[in-house]
Amino acid sequence: MKDNSKPGKMPYVCQVCNYRLSAFADMETHSRTCHENTKNLLCPFDLNIVRALILYMNHCQSTRKRVFQCSKCRVRFLTSKEKT
């Protein structure tokens, strides 16, 4: 399936192994199961890989501040364009 799928159908790409996934939540599961014994830390907000704990904490804090929340529901977006 991975070899035959087009990138548009599987927009999320693991930065460690280039594995493609179709759902945002599946990327977190993939990272936890396939890369748990590595120094790679996955940001839950934008799926970036950070390799040092202090950099990871700083990255997550700055990314969390950039989140755009819908005024009608609890859904959050990383860009104002996605929110619109």
Strands of 1-84, DSSP E: 12-13, 20-21, 41-42, 49-50, 68-69, 76-77
pLDDT at 11: 79
Cα 8 to Cα 69: distance, rounded to the nearest angstrom: 25
Domain containing 19 equals 12-83
* Contact (CB, 8 A) for 48 and 40: no
Q: How many domains does the chain have?
A: 1
Q: What is the reported pTM?
A: 0.55
The DSSP symbol for 66 reads T
Has residue 30 been placed in a domain? yes
pLDDT one digit per residue (tens) for the chain, 84 residues: 455 555 557 778 888 898 988 888 888 889 888 888 888 888 877 788 888 888 988 888 887 777 777 888 877 776 777 777
Q: Model confidence over 39-58: pLDDT tens digits?
A: 888 887 778 888 888 898 88
* Contact (CB, 8 A) for 27 and 46: no
Has residue 62 been placed in a domain? yes
Has residue 7 been placed in a domain? no
Has residue 18 been placed in a domain? yes
Has residue 5 been placed in a domain? no
